[in-house]
Amino acid sequence: MRVLEFGYDRIMTVTSRRPATKGLVAILLSLIAAIVVVDMARVDMTRVESLPPLPEPVTNNAVVSVTAQGREFLISFAGLGPEKDHDDVHARTFVLDSDDAEWREAAPVPGGVGRLAATAVAVGELAYVFGGYTVAEDGTEASTRWVHAFDPLSGEFTERASMPVPVDDAIAVVYQDRYIYLISGWHDFGNVNLVQQYDVMTDTWSQATPTPGRAVFGHAGGIVANTVVYCDGVAIEPHEDRQRDFVASPECFLGIIDEGESRRIDWRAIKPHPGKPRYRMAAAGSIEDGAVIFIGGSENPYNYDGMGYNGAASSPAEDALLFQVETGSWQQIDVSGSGTMDHRGLVMFEGGWVTVGGMVDDQQVTDDVNTYAFD
């Protein structure tokens, strides 16, 4: 489509103007594309169902935590119910308040229709919800361009500037408590390699440096300071004599955001993590650990009902992965308990990393709210 071509050309023009800022971190990371150490030491992580379960099972929901006026809020936006069909796609909003540890249902995500694979992040005391896709009764899917800010104190949504290119199953990271980057994702009929930057202060969009690898959806990642890391997801594989396939992508990339020009990202390939690529992991960057954490997901990419594109039922991975940004090393993490998949985020809440809902064994939609902590 013309809009995609314009977006890509605009990005390439911007990135050709001046060299990226270089610093100690950039120099260290320049080695990662060639040499990445897999730290063979195993790290243990404990999964605890320490928080109240959701009011109902939900998966493929956008998840975020927000701190406002000294209170922490855990929020689930939209998603899919336990029957996993068209009628179970919804726009419900569930909010857990740390003051009383109770879930309450707030107003639905605006738009008048349920959606899947939306993305949410927090900036300041607001949560921002981006996109997602709708599912018609005949199975037709359409990406949505809506963007809304949600105030957990008032329970109200405010519409913000729409995405230039609507995407779903993208990842979102926040830089300088101002800029939100939507990285790759699916747009109506195919993946896009765009990195769309939203400025919460001006309510405007810009195009940042596009991703260098194959465009993907259902990937996972996070940000540490000005360094973005993302991995895996699903790419499109074309054929000469038949329709395209959806295939797991083993690619991982690291991007350094230029401190002087936030639209400029120095993307670098890094070695894949141990094991097979995964789909819809829960992931986030940890400043404290200097790392990006990836939990669960599935090694068999699937449609929204949990059945693989290859026709086989998908199952969740039981362990986690950790990428150390400074050293460029991967660690596998043993996680107690059963695995989960179909996540749209990993968030920090009351001192622990949390997943909200998702799917467990046999593609069952769960209401579990799990907290993870390193042993």
pLDDT digits (tens, 9 = 90+) for 263-305: 999 999 999 999 999 999 999 999 999 999 999 999 999 999 9
Model confidence pLDDT, tens digit, residues 58-100: 999 999 999 999 999 999 999 999 999 999 999 999 999 999 9
* Overall average pLDDT of the 103-120 stretch: 97
Whether 22 has a pLDDT exceeding 50, the answer reads no
In a domain, 228, yes or no: yes
Residues 6+ apart with CB under 8 A from 135: 86, 89, 114, 116, 141, 304
In a domain, 139, yes or no: yes
d(CA 226, CA 265): 9
Query: What is the model's pLDDT at position 11?
Result: 28
In a domain, 28, yes or no: no
Query: Percent of the chain, pLDDT > 90?
Result: 84
Query: What is the model's pLDDT at position 21?
Result: 39
In a domain, 326, yes or no: yes
164 token code pair: 């230039």
Tally the domains of the chain.
1
* Overall average pLDDT of the 140-152 stretch: 97
pLDDT band for position 19 (50/70/90)?
A: very low
Inter-CA distances, 172 with 8, 124, 223, Å: 19, 15, 9
The enclosing domain of 196 has a CATH number of 2.120.10.80
In a domain, 341, yes or no: yes
Query: What is the model's pLDDT at position 2?
Result: 21
In a domain, 205, yes or no: yes
In a domain, 25, yes or no: no
Query: What is the model's pLDDT at position 42?
Result: 54
Query: What is the model's pLDDT at position 358?
Result: 98
d(CA 146, CA 121): 14
Whether 7 has a pLDDT exceeding 60, the answer reads no
- Domain with 104, as residue range(s), is 2-14+35-374
Of residues 128, 127, 141, the one with CA closest to residue 68:
127
Whether 6 has a pLDDT exceeding 80, the answer reads no
Q: Which pTM does this prediction carry?
A: 0.89
The separation between CA 118 and the C-alpha centre of its own chain, rounded to angstroms, equals 9
Whether 18 has a pLDDT exceeding 50, the answer reads no
Whether 133 has a pLDDT exceeding 70, the answer reads yes
pLDDT band for position 50 (50/70/90)?
A: confident
Query: What is the model's pLDDT at position 44?
Result: 79
In a domain, 303, yes or no: yes
Neighbours of 260 (CB within 10 A): 9
Average pLDDT, the chain: 90
Whether 34 has a pLDDT exceeding 50, the answer reads no
Percentages (nearest 5) of helix, strand, coil residues in the chain: 5, 45, 50
